[in-house]
């Protein structure tokens, strides 16, 4: 029987040889991702930058150093966390990923989620956020929590954003500081024994007044409290936004076949 390590190695080999989109023409190295395959937390960024492209590893530049600092502030080490990106190859000039590139690469991320089965997914930046929070603004929902597919999804700013906007540094530190509590809640969920959550404060400097309900409804997953010994109550799923169904595959892409 194939092990999870063998499945990951096969996936990484396929990513490194992938030519499903035009980024294969300009990359130096594809960057599949790295980290323990039994990690409880998965951090998903946007795409490799110049340093990542050179080394074939995610988050190894200045943003990576800040990510390590943020994790340390949450009492976590980088070695405890699985780290990857929406795109596995660097867009030239660090431009934004194109929709067709995201679609072409999306199955690799789905396979990584299946392999690692993290309890908590931290999306870093708006492109990974959009997988679970379509049509949302990161300035409004950063630090909030949504339950999807039995895990907790937490959108946060990309660490690189704080390198350009110094005021986001403390925002990111505050959001990461909530990770231990969020992880505890996710562990309780995975045990089928959800515990009352300590209500965290709303993200700093965010004013929800006058915003449509959908802009704030994902703040905190409703967690049912059960008396000792009683079976856990069901956790109502968030009403919206729904997980966006996968769109049609671009005609130039091929079916990614792994683990046959
Ligand atoms: S689909 Fe992903 S891995 Fe394949 S070439 Fe495009 S960005 Fe790279």
In tens, the pLDDT along 29-61 reads: 999 999 999 999 999 999 999 999 999 999 999
The H or E element spanning position 8 is: helix 4-17
CA of 15, closest atom in ligand 1:
3
Q: How far is the CA of 86 from the centre of ligand 1 (A)?
A: 10
Q: Which residue has the tokens 């109502």?
A: 236
Checking if the pLDDT of 230 tops 80, the result is no
The H or E element spanning position 155 is: strand 151-156
Residue 26 has a pLDDT of 97
Q: Is 105 in the pocket of ligand 1 (CB under 6 A)?
A: yes
Answer yes or no: pTM beyond 0.85: no
Q: Which two tokens stand for residue 147?
A: 């339950």
Q: Residues 192, 232: contact at Cβ < 8 Å?
A: yes
Q: Left if phi > 0, otherwise alpha if psi is -120 to 50, otherwise beta: which for 57?
A: beta
Q: Which residues, in sequence order, are CB contacts of 134 under 8 Å at separation 6+?
A: 241, 244
The H or E element spanning position 68 is: helix 62-73
Average pLDDT over residues 142-164: 96
pLDDT digits (tens, 9 = 90+) for 248-257: 433 333 344 4
CA of 47, closest atom in ligand 1:
7
Q: How far is the CA of 48 from the centre of ligand 1 (A)?
A: 11
User: What structural domains and CATH numbers belong to the chain?
Assistant: 4-193 (3.40.470.10)
Q: Is 20 in the pocket of ligand 1 (CB under 6 A)?
A: yes
Q: How far is the CA of 49 from the centre of ligand 1 (A)?
A: 14
Checking if the pLDDT of 97 tops 90, the result is yes
Checking if the pLDDT of 244 tops 70, the result is no
- Point out the least confidently predicted range of 49-53, 186-190, 223-227: 223-227
Q: Percent helix, strand, coil in the chain (nearest 5)? A: 40, 10, 50
Average pLDDT over residues 109-114: 98
């Amino acid at each position: 029987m194939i092990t999870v390590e063998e499945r990951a190695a096969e996936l990484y080999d396929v990513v490194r040889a992938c030519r499903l989109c035009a980024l294969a023409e300009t990359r130096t190295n594809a960057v599949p991702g790295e980290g323990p395959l039994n990690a409880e937390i998965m951090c998903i960024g946007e795409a490799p930058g110049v340093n990542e492209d050179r080394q074939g590893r995610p988050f190894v530049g200045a943003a990576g150093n800040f990510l390590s600092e943020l994790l340390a502030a949450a009492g976590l080490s980088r070695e405890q966390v699985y780290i990857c990106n929406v795109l596995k190859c660097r867009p030239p000039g660090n431009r934004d990923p194109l929709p067709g590139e995201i679609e072409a690469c999306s199955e690799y991320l789905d396979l990584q989620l299946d392999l690692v089965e993290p309890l908590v997914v931290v999306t870093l930046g708006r492109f990974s956020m959009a997988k679970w929070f379509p049509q949302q603004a990161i300035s409004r929902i950063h630090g909030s929590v949504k339950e999807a597919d039995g895990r907790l999804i937490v959108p946060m700013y990309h660490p690189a954003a704080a390198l350009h906007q110094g005021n986001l540094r403390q925002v990111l530190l505050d959001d990461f500081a909530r990770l231990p509590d969020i992880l505890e809640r996710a562990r309780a969920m995975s045990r089928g024994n959800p515990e009352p959550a300590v209500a965290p404060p709303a993200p700093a400097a965010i004013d929800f007044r006058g915003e449509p309900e959908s802009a704030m409804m994902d703040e905190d997953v409703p967690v049912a409290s059960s008396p000792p010994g009683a079976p856990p109550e069901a956790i109502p799923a968030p009403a919206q936004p729904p997980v966006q169904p996968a769109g049609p595959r671009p005609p130039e892409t091929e079916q990614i076949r792994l683990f046959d």
